Structure 1
């Protein structure tokens, strides 16, 4: 029995190690290509004023830059979890941007109009996102319409619906006509601001709050649900094979809807974490494109191989280089270089399965070589003598 467990344990560790090494390889190649691009644009300043600033990230302007990184990481973790959760259950939630948009509206409406406390506003953000995520799930479960198509459609429906409600022909209840955006929470609804618990003072910012800890707690909760509960097992079973799951007595339609609903709630919750931290206001006149945070979640999920805990680290990395890119001197480089690097890393993630396969073969070969060179078991020599 112990001998049977050893190979299984070794295979599991080998698989996890190969996943981490594949992600690191994607990052290294992406950073190397980014360095080459910097040298092509401006060879004289590529290293010191370019690459090193991106690598330093928020630490270039410590502690303010680090606080800014943490503020951006919290919602990115949530949209990454939204995409990763759907991936784990066999669905591609490309609608995280729309669910994020509805979550932002739910949080701001409950804060500015209903004057509710921050934790209620966060729950409302998750609820609005959940509703917007459930709709593609219902279409998928009962009409077998691809969730990618409906998610993309509802991204744009959600964006323009929110813009129309907030703008309200220039006189919406949430709308500050003078600044062409929603009212600042600090001015109109301070009770809806997520507590900073000293973090804003620590990082010398006005919007670094406990949101990052809430996001990490949710990531741990999602990992527990997926890996340690019957519900999580059923969700993954449906993702692996709907027909086999149905044969085993699992209600695949219910689980598809629940998966997309939870994914939507996670994205909506992420919007709540960002806007209730006072990080920004919603501008319906400028918000004619979908929030980048929703699509960046796809990057973090791919980089983390859809692992909930890995999503925390991949989100932190993406935010780190994005903030670093903002510190590039514009007279030498465009700030979009950081987006280029993250884009290359995302592209390489498409080859991560190939990288993982190669790395696993190397690890297996090394393991077999170690076993061959190992000393024979005590009973082996006795058996040989008996023959």
Structure 2
């Protein structure tokens, strides 16, 4: 007699397709990039890719630099992914990031008398709070006036960057020729991982910039995953993103969750300054932030707006960014090819995502509407 309960496979078809789609997209993108390198530059693409990946992953110093570069991208991509769960397209990570970064810098060079145990958490909270406020503004405009968040966040980016550049010059040291703020207190600086790894026999160069902000990024990934998958707040945010009309019928406030999702998104983006300021420059320089918010959009899309997918996608961008530095030295290929590769990967991921979606609809229809 056949069992009444059919054993479910460990991975469903939808899950497997979701895992394979980005891998196929990345492979195709590298192939197209290789053709560009051969046809337009005349270099051997295998040599170019070997240099990129060996530089990034061939030694501990390379791994450290990859993780350092991935850290701020994790924050900005998580911000995009979190808002997307509520049906919102937050492209204001650039502005939210610099606002949060300046706020934590200001705290760091203002409250210099505090010990590290107080000053570091205070800086982190300041960065998150400032980013949350900057993110909540377009959320409020969307909820109350119906103004689209894409328009809002674009405008808020320019306002935020211009404001922070003005404030940077306001707090610039008198003897400095560089547009940067005063240095934060030593008590606000984060230790680099080499300090802890080298005594254990793990030889990471002291110059390597990987710092404790990486662990904060991983903690935030786990926190966002927990909120979205295990809490009422996450359930309501996703319900609004899935179907606003159904959410309202169920008694879920669309306006409240819109503002809350954008505020939470901005808070996460604001934490990118922990890595760039407290772990690296020890002052605010816009140059070390520029473009990270926009790169976070691509990372979120490649990671399928999943917190864990975001980490892997951020590492991919970290590999390309750090490995790309070497091709200027060892090949005739310009470093700008990395930007081309990122763009091609993103295009293939978006296109393949749409193809996947249509495949799933077709398979469901073929099975009579049952879930695959």
Q: Give TM-score scaled by structure 1 length.
A: 0.83
Partners of 1:300 and 1:314 within 8 A in 2: yes
**Residue of structure 2 equivalent to 1:375:** none
Question: 1:52 aligned to 2:54?
Answer: no
Q: CA deviation at 1:42?
A: 3.6
Over residues 15-71 of structure 1, what are the superposed CA-to-partner deviations in whole Å (9 max), with x where a residue is unaligned? 2211110111111011111111221244344432x12122334235x3322221111
Name the CA distance, whole Å, in 2 between partners of 1:93 and 1:247.
Answer: 25
**Residue of structure 2 equivalent to 1:345:** 345
**Residue of structure 1 equivalent to 2:311:** 312
The range that moved more, 254-263 or 319-328, is 319-328
Name the CA distance, whole Å, in 2 between partners of 1:327 and 1:184.
Answer: 31
**Residue of structure 2 equivalent to 1:376:** none
Question: 1:95 aligned to 2:92?
Answer: yes
Pick the aligned partner of 1:104 from 81, 101, 104.
Answer: 101
Pick the aligned partner of 1:195 from 185, 191, 195.
Answer: 191
Question: 1:160 aligned to 2:157?
Answer: no
Structure 2 gap segments, 5+ residues each: 368-372
Question: 1:242 aligned to 2:240?
Answer: no
* Structure 2 CA distance for partners of 1:166 and 1:5, relative to 1, 3 Å: farther
Pick the aligned partner of 1:73 from 60, 70, 73.
Answer: 70
Name the CA distance, whole Å, in 2 between partners of 1:191 and 1:229.
Answer: 35
* Structure 2 CA distance for partners of 1:207 and 1:183, relative to 1, 3 Å: farther
**Residue of structure 1 equivalent to 2:370:** none
Q: CA deviation at 1:274?
A: 2.4
Name the CA distance, whole Å, in 2 between partners of 1:318 and 1:58.
Answer: 11
Partners of 1:101 and 1:158 within 8 A in 2: yes
Q: CA deviation at 1:175?
A: 7.0
**Residue of structure 2 equivalent to 1:82:** 79
Q: Which secondary structure does the structure 1 equivalent of 2:12 belong to?
A: helix
Structure 1 stretches (4+) deviating beyond 6 angstroms?
361-364
Q: Which secondary structure does the structure 1 equivalent of 2:332 belong to?
A: coil
Cα RMSD of the aligned pairs, angstroms, is 2.9
Structure 1 gap segments, 5+ residues each: 368-387
* Structure 2 CA distance for partners of 1:4 and 1:82, relative to 1, 3 Å: farther
* Structure 2 CA distance for partners of 1:219 and 1:11, relative to 1, 3 Å: same
Q: Which secondary structure does the structure 2 equivalent of 1:277 belong to?
A: helix
Over residues 258-307 of structure 1, what are the superposed CA-to-partner deviations in whole Å (9 max), with x where a residue is unaligned? 000000000001222222102475346x68xx821101111111111111
Name the CA distance, whole Å, in 1 between partners of 2:295 and 2:23.
Answer: 18
Q: How does 1:166-185 map to 2 (within 5 A)?
A: 166-168=168-170, 172=171, 177-185=176-184
Name the CA distance, whole Å, in 2 between partners of 1:347 and 1:341.
Answer: 10
Partners of 2:43 and 2:332 within 8 A in 1: no
Name the CA distance, whole Å, in 1 between partners of 2:345 and 2:101.
Answer: 28
**Residue of structure 2 equivalent to 1:324:** 323
Partners of 1:83 and 1:92 within 8 A in 2: yes
Name the CA distance, whole Å, in 2 between partners of 1:217 and 1:31.
Answer: 31
Q: Which secondary structure does the structure 1 equivalent of 2:191 belong to?
A: coil
